[in-house]
Structure 1
Amino acid sequence: MSALQALKIVITNLPATADDRYEPRETEELISFQVKNNTAQEAQLTQENISKPILQEIASGDITCDLASFEAGSGGFGEVLVGYHEGLQQEVAIKFFTITGGPREKTRLEKIIKEEMAHLLKADHENVVRIFGYVKWSFAMGIVMEYCKCGNLKELLLDTSIALGLAVRIRFLYQTSSGMAACHNLPDKRLIHQDLKPENITLTEDLQCKIIDFGAAELATHSTLATVNPLARSKKEPPQYTPYYTAPEKLKDPAMKAKKEIDVYSFAMIIYILVKTEKSQSNSNY
């Protein structure tokens, strides 16, 4: 069963009263509350809400992954494959990085992977993809994370056979903004995604949104928004942004310091895509 087939079954079996869950006034309050994430209530995130970062290495023998069998997608610098975790006894997604150089390249690649993992571990939230650890082979390395079987929002929006009610669309926006707000309100830093788009919002079997692909993410301080600890990329591998969802100032100056407004702009574009009355199925910018 494909991701979209699974998603059709989930949406078809939604309760008949699903469209009654959100009144217009309540919808405005939900969006307003999540976007204005500097309020005192949202700032109450404490250390107890954030898991302590543990960069766990998973033995390669515990991961079964057929490179030719199935690819879940791609993002940043790696392909995303589907594998099986013997210890957890469940399917997992593996962001796969092929090692093309010698020991120096392997060390640099491992640093990139650990940076992305550290970012995800800091943002421990139900609407941010869960990380299990990383795995190393002689020819490649990978980040092992939860596998969302129902694909992503881009695939959903491009499928003309699936009719989405307003309640489902608002639910997607609410969950996405919840994950974004959690990233922006870590106890000591802000985690700026910088590449938020429908393709980077995956869906579980119970229609739970999960933000993925933090390969372009950076940490910024709350006070000065000065960028700290950026991913260790070479000059030949700059972060890859999606123009349609990237703030104009970021497109003009890709080296500008990370700030939460970059993600807010991207989220505003996602709102437009999801709530507009008619969607152009031929628009590949989704």
Structure 2
Amino acid sequence: MRSSEVWAAEEGYRVMTSHFRMYSYRELVKATERFKHELGWGGSGVVYKGILDDDRAVVIKKLENVTRNREEFQDELHVISRINHMNLVRIYGFCSERFHRLLVLEYVENGSLANVLFNSKILLDWKQRFNIALGVAKGLAYLHHECLEWVIHCNLNPENILLDENLEPKIADLWVRTKLLSRSGSKQNVSRARGTIGYIAPEWISGLPITAKVDVYSYGVVLLELVSGKRVFDLIIGEDKTKVHEMLKKFIKMICYRLDNEKSLWLAEFVDFRVGDEFNYLQAKTLVKLAVSCLEEDRKKRPTMESIVESLLSVDLARS
């Protein structure tokens, strides 16, 4: 057989041992009605909605500017095929024919957290916000601590957190942003990874090696936004995005002072006014304190995602 046929046969064998499969380009053309239903532009290419032959709604992403050769592409797919967690967008399969590189992903009904939280499409109550914080933490903890390889997302933000029909969070955009680190200690060069201004850790700019703590930093920013209902740029004073780390550091110092000296008064004002008084004080304080620890300048002082999950679970029973 030709090399492409051998590769296809190998993939076919792997499909039988997992729920991850290879799709033909023709199948995906049919599913999307010739790529008619465009959903937008993702971090790696154009995204379309499709309906598979089994009537399953999916998202089909055309990967643009894929520089990986077939062997690298296959290696990364092999890792991604084993990633399965309720708080991560499921990748059902892929297409790799000639120059076509496409991913078939789970369709998540309510779109991004950014759209829901900042555009008032749906008013999230306190329980829903806390559940989103917990779900995202669980998803990141799975990537950082439970996968066979360490997986770093590298671009966590509200646009890459999707909400399903029950408003359960699912972390998206794993393909283009995911970086893999061997547990044996040998590290892949992840210095090329790109993040989003406002969510990237300070070591990113200083050129230090990227570790899982960059995701912890991004998670801290997301926590502040979940509690306050405001974008990070609306929380900090000043519009110069190049100084966001400096401004955010001052903001965190102010939060620490107020938490210690103003007790519940400031916290009640910081929580999104749309929630009103319907929030759990202990949980709110825990989220803000976790955000502060996640945003430590020294990454060694930031908590792990495993410890964050434990902290959240400890106050989960305190839901009002």
Q: TM-score, normalized by length of structure 1? A: 0.65
Q: Which residue of structure 2 aligns with residue 193 of structure 1?
A: 153
2:200 aligned to which of 235, 239, 246? 246
Q: Which amino acid aligns with 1:219?
A: L
1:117 aligned to which of 72, 77, 83? 77
**Distance change (3 Å), C-alpha of 1:281 and 1:109:** same
Separation (CA, whole Å) in 2 of partners of 1:211 and 1:69:
25
Q: Which amino acid aligns with 2:89?
A: V
Q: Aligned pair 1:56/2:21, yes or no?
A: yes
Separation (CA, whole Å) in 2 of partners of 1:113 and 1:150:
30
Long gaps (5+) in structure 1? 1-51, 100-104, 232-237
How many Å apart are 1:121 and its aligned residue?
2.4
Q: Aligned pair 1:217/2:178, yes or no?
A: yes
**Distance change (3 Å), C-alpha of 1:151 and 1:176:** same
CA contact (8 A) 1:70 1:81 kept: yes
Q: Which amino acid aligns with 1:279?
A: K
Structure with the largest fraction of strand: 1
**Distance change (3 Å), C-alpha of 1:159 and 1:112:** farther
Aligned length: 217
How many Å apart are 1:126 and its aligned residue?
0.8
CA contact (8 A) 1:273 1:279 kept: yes
**Distance change (3 Å), C-alpha of 1:153 and 1:110:** farther
| More RCO (CA 8 Å, sep 6+) | 1
Q: Which residue of structure 1 aligns with residue 43 of structure 2?
A: 76
CA contact (8 A) 1:219 1:258 kept: no
Separation (CA, whole Å) in 1 of partners of 2:86 and 2:71:
26
Q: Which residue of structure 2 aligns with residue 175 of structure 1?
A: 135
Q: Which residue of structure 1 aligns with residue 86 of structure 2?
A: 126
**Distance change (3 Å), C-alpha of 1:280 and 1:182:** closer
Separation (CA, whole Å) in 2 of partners of 1:112 and 1:78:
19
How many Å apart are 1:67 and its aligned residue?
5.7
1:259 aligned to which of 211, 217, 242? 211
Q: TM-score, normalized by length of structure 2? A: 0.59
Q: Which residue of structure 1 aligns with residue 55 of structure 2?
A: 89
Separation (CA, whole Å) in 2 of partners of 1:210 and 1:145:
12
Separation (CA, whole Å) in 2 of partners of 1:96 and 1:180:
25
**Distance change (3 Å), C-alpha of 1:204 and 1:117:** farther
RMSD value, Cα: 3.2
Long gaps (5+) in structure 2? 1-16, 242-320
